[in-house]
Amino acid sequence: MPSSTDKTALVTGATSGIGLAAARALAQDGAYVFLVGRREDALEQAVAGIGEGQATYIRADVTQQSDLDRVVATVEATGRGLDVVFANAGIAAVAPLGEITWEHYTTAFNTNVGGIIFTVQAALPLLNEGASVILCGSSGDVKANPGTSVYAASKTAIRSLARSWAAELVDRKIRVNVVAPGLTETPGLKELFSGDDDGLAALASSMPMKRLARPEEVSSVVAFLASDASTFMTGAEIYVDGGGSQF
């Protein structure tokens, strides 16, 4: 079984959905977890649910360098290095060609790409030998869906970042991998459908497994990549999408 006993982990986008499920899974596997997100009330609830002896929160926006500097300073002040970074924070913005705006593009790329670049870069000095860096991609990097071109492009960039960083950090024995979820039952997905339950149900039924993923099904893969059970994996991408990207 995967174990992260005595590891220290940082999870961004940890207030709900996949990020929160990953923080819980890492803590359950024995890690001390720093949860990062923008909503303090949700972070407080998340830490309370995990247990303050195994988690703490840092309110921060990953698109703001000053916030990332504060995250690193907070972790460093505890005297802990980092064994796991799950760069998860992201948004799923939709706009079809012909309606894409500069604001749509910059928001998607600043969060989904810039947020991951500068989160990992900020954490780099704290990464211990043997650390695992996990980037949250998407099965959208290989699966075409109308209206998602900018989002898919941002997630495709994450796949490229992982390959390059894995090569750059291999001599430090730091691993970099991508977990690529498909459609997952998260508050963000429900918000995207704005109460269109029938539309969401139709989308779920179009999947090979005829349902959406549960956040816990994605977080179990994150826990695996964080653990010593995956020590010979780097530069890889694991799809957790019920076969949606494969057939």
The domains of the chain, with CATH numbers, are 8-183+215-239 (3.40.50.720)
> How many whole angstroms separate alpha carbon 139 and alpha carbon 219?
15
Evaluate the CA torsion angle 238, 241, 245, 247 in order and state its sign. positive
What is the band of 1 on the pLDDT scale with cuts at 50, 70, 90? low
> Which residue type is seen at 89?
A
pTM of this structure: 0.94
Arithmetic mean of pLDDT, 8-26: 97
Q: Which residues are catalytic?
A: 151, 155
Arithmetic mean of pLDDT, 145-154: 92
Measuring CA to CA, which residue among 130, 129, 132 is closest to residue 177? 132
Give me the pLDDT at residue 195, please.
66
